[in-house]
Structure 1
Amino acid sequence: MNNGKFLEVCLNEGCLKQLANNISLASNLGAKRFELCSNLHLGGLTPSVNAIDCAVKNLTNSAELVVMIRPEAGNFLVSAECHQVMQKQITMAANAGAHGVVFGAVKNDELDLKVTRSLVATAKQHDLMVTFHRAFDTLTNPLSALEKLISLEVDRILTAGTPWQSGQSAVDGLNQLNTYLVHSANQIEIVMGGGVTLENAATLWQLIKNHSAKAAVHVHSCVHNENGAINAEAINKLLSKDQAWQRIF
């Protein structure tokens, strides 16, 4: 049971046997969405078709799989060549059974509207949900970008509410996340991720509860053990109805 909490778990492709076990275990425990990547040490790149297929086949309890679309590491500037590769990868993810895709495109510290519009159109042609990832946290005017992403019918934004690569967590970005929730007015889902721990997650759940918001909490390292396997106790703690709420705002 997830007790009304929408938990998104980020998984690295890695060993397919471990991936299958991680997806099956976490979805049985109540995780509702998985973001699948490869090369998380590079910030997350596009996974293989075999990994997507493996993940889809091991989902339970109507959990969703969203797939990272990021062909190369580095910044979030999308060249014409990279754009073409991303289009093909979106189609690949759809054909492999993914429910959604995750991408971002930034140019001169602003939302790359042309590329984003094109990628969203391709995703929607395949009935895929769209998440704009933490490239959002590099933007100089995120509130303006939020409005544009809503107009493009992007489904969700992954953000810590803090500058990209600042070393700060989503809890450090609480005031900014609060602002995003107010401005989004439930027109787009705000997925709060970045430095989430078993100790600080309650603060984010409370923020969501205060707004009755269309929002989720995104986790990675706090629900994995040292060899990359999902820690069932950690998932249970995050989703427990008995987890202490912290009064904020």
Structure 2
Amino acid sequence: MSNGKILEVCLNETDTKQLTNNVLKAGDLGVSRFELCSNLHLGGLTPSKPAIDSAVKSLTNNAQLVVMIRPEAGDFIVSAESHKLMEKQIIMAANAGVHGVVFGAVKHGKLDLEVTHSLVATAKQHGLMVTFHRAFDTLTNPLSALDKLISLGVDRVLTAGTPWQSGQSAVDGYKLLNTYLAHSANQIEIVIGGGVTLENAPTLWQLIKNHSAKAAVHVHSCVHNENGAINAEAINKLLSKD
């Protein structure tokens, strides 16, 4: 049972059998949403079509699948070439039957409005939800960016409330996350992710509860064992009643 909690589990593209098992198992345990990536050691890149197909087929209990759209590692500046490739990858993901896509575009510490607007339009034309990923945590004026993302029709933003690659966790970003939740006033879903553990997750669930917000907690390593398989006990603990 999810107990009203929206838990998003990040999955790395692995062998098809393990990916299928992970989606089936976690979905049966009440996970609301999966984010599928490849190359998580590079911050997450676009997964392959076979991996997307496997994940889509394995969904249970109305769980949703969103996929990373990020063709190359490095910063979040999107070149003209990357932009075209991202458009194609969004359409490929839509045709595979996913529920949403995850991307970000930043230039000089600000939202790349032109690219973001274009990618959002492509996603929406194909009936997809949009998450702006942790490129958000590189921005110099996140509150202004939050307003712009809302106006562009972005559905969610993934953030730790701490600077990208700072090594800090979402609990370290508590104050800023509190500000985002208040500022967004449920106009956009705040997905809290980055260093979430079984120990600090209750603090984040309570923060969401304080705002009566439609917000989610995003996890990866704390719900996988050393072999990359889903740990049922960990998911049960995260979704247990407070």
Matched residue type, 1:128: L
- Structure-1 separation of matches of 2:16 and 2:138: 32
Q: Does 1:69 align with 2:69?
A: yes
TM-score (ref. length: structure 2):
1.00
Q: What are the equivalent positions in structure 2 for 1:1-249 lying under 5 Å apart?
A: 1-241=1-241, 243=242
Secondary structure, counterpart of 1:81 in structure 2: helix
Residue deviations 1:41-60 (CA, integer Å, cap 9, x gap): 10000000111110010010
TM-score (ref. length: structure 1):
0.97
Residue deviations 1:190-248 (CA, integer Å, cap 9, x gap): 0000000000000000000010001000000000000100000000000011x4xxxxx
Q: 1:184 offset after TM fit, Å?
A: 0.3
Matched residue type, 2:134: R
What residue ranges of structure 1 are gaps of 5+ in the alignment?
Answer: 244-249
- Structure-2 separation of matches of 1:41 and 1:22: 19
Secondary structure, counterpart of 2:75 in structure 1: coil
- Structure-1 separation of matches of 2:32 and 2:21: 15
Runs of 4+ off more than 4 Å: none
- Structure-1 separation of matches of 2:60 and 2:188: 25
- Structure-2 separation of matches of 1:141 and 1:164: 14
Q: 1:34 offset after TM fit, Å?
A: 0.2
- Structure-1 separation of matches of 2:150 and 2:229: 35
Matched residue type, 1:15: D
CA RMSD of aligned residues (A): 0.4
**Matched residue pairs, number?**
242
Secondary structure, counterpart of 1:217 in structure 2: strand
Secondary structure, counterpart of 2:11 in structure 1: strand
Secondary structure, counterpart of 1:176 in structure 2: helix
- Structure-1 separation of matches of 2:179 and 2:214: 14
- Structure-1 separation of matches of 2:16 and 2:118: 32
Secondary structure, counterpart of 1:77 in structure 2: coil
What residue ranges of structure 2 are gaps of 5+ in the alignment?
Answer: none
- Structure-2 separation of matches of 1:3 and 1:14: 29
Secondary structure, counterpart of 1:135 in structure 2: helix
Aligned-pair identity in percent equals 82
Matched residue type, 1:78: V
- Structure-2 separation of matches of 1:103 and 1:229: 25
